[in-house]
Amino acid sequence: MKFYKLTPAKRRALLRQRGIELDEIDEQVLRELDLLSENVIGQLRLPVGLVQNVLVNGHKYQVPLSTEEPSVVAAANHGAKIVTEAGGFTAVSQRNGIWGQIVLQAAADFKIAKLQAFFPELIKQANIEYASLVLHGGGVKTITAEQEKDLVFLKVLVDPAESMGANRVNSILEYMAEKLAVFSGIKQKLFAILSNYPSQITKVEAEIPVEVIGGITTAQKIALLSRIGQTDPMRAVTNNKGIMNGVEAVLLASGNDTRAVEAACGVWAAKSGSYTSLSEWFVQDKKLLGRLSLPLPLGVVGGSIKSRKDVTQNYRILGEKITSQELANIIAAIGLANNLAALLAIATSGIQKGHMKLQARNIVANLQATSSEKKKVLQMLIKSNLYSQTAAQEFLKEIRKENNASRN
Mean per-residue pLDDT, 334-348 = 95
Q: Is the pLDDT of residue 351 over 70?
A: no
What does the domain layout of the chain look like in residue ranges?
A: 3-34, 48-94+199-348, 97-194, 355-407
Q: Is the pLDDT of residue 3 over 80?
A: yes
* Predicted local confidence at residue 408, as pLDDT: 59
Q: Is the pLDDT of residue 205 over 60?
A: yes
Q: Is the pLDDT of residue 17 over 80?
A: yes
Q: Grade residue 352 by pLDDT with cuts at 50, 70 and 90.
A: low
Q: Is the pLDDT of residue 358 over 70?
A: no
* Predicted local confidence at residue 396, as pLDDT: 79
Q: Grade residue 265 by pLDDT with cuts at 50, 70 and 90.
A: very high
Reduced to 3 states, what is the DSSP secondary structure of residue 346? helix
Q: What is the mean pLDDT of the chain?
A: 92
Active site residues: 69, 241, 257, 355
Q: Is the pLDDT of residue 349 over 80?
A: no
* Predicted local confidence at residue 243, as pLDDT: 98
Q: Grade residue 350 by pLDDT with cuts at 50, 70 and 90.
A: low
Is there a contact between 142 and 156 (Cβ–Cβ < 8 Å)?
Answer: yes
In the chain, pLDDT over 70 holds for what percent of residues? Answer: 97
Is there a contact between 140 and 157 (Cβ–Cβ < 8 Å)?
Answer: yes
Reduced to 3 states, what is the DSSP secondary structure of residue 20? coil
CA 147 remoteness from chain centre: 35
> Among 82-96, 135-149, 302-316, 334-348, whose mean pLDDT is lowest?
302-316
Q: Grade residue 357 by pLDDT with cuts at 50, 70 and 90.
A: low
61 closest CA partner among 231, 254, 230, 211:
254
Is there a contact between 12 and 22 (Cβ–Cβ < 8 Å)?
Answer: yes
Q: Which CATH class is domain 97-194?
A: alpha beta
**Regarding predicted confidence, which is higher, 303 or 99?**
99
Name the range with the highest mean pLDDT among 161-165, 294-298, 366-370: 294-298
**Regarding predicted confidence, which is higher, 360 or 378?**
378
Mean per-residue pLDDT, 155-184 = 93
* Predicted local confidence at residue 360, as pLDDT: 72
Of 3.30.70.2740, 1.25.10.10, 3.90.770.10, 1.10.10.10, the CATH number of 48-94+199-348 is 3.90.770.10
**Regarding predicted confidence, which is higher, 64 or 376?**
64
96: CB partners within 8 A, 6+ apart:
141, 157, 159, 199, 200
Is there a contact between 63 and 81 (Cβ–Cβ < 8 Å)?
Answer: no
Q: Is the pLDDT of residue 60 over 90?
A: yes
Q: In whole angstroms, what is the distance from residue 333 CA to residue 277 CA?
A: 16
Q: Is the pLDDT of residue 354 over 70?
A: no
Q: Is the pLDDT of residue 158 over 60?
A: yes
* Predicted local confidence at residue 381, as pLDDT: 75
What is the edge-to-edge ordering of all strands in the sheet holding 279-284? 90-95, 200-209, 287-295, 279-284
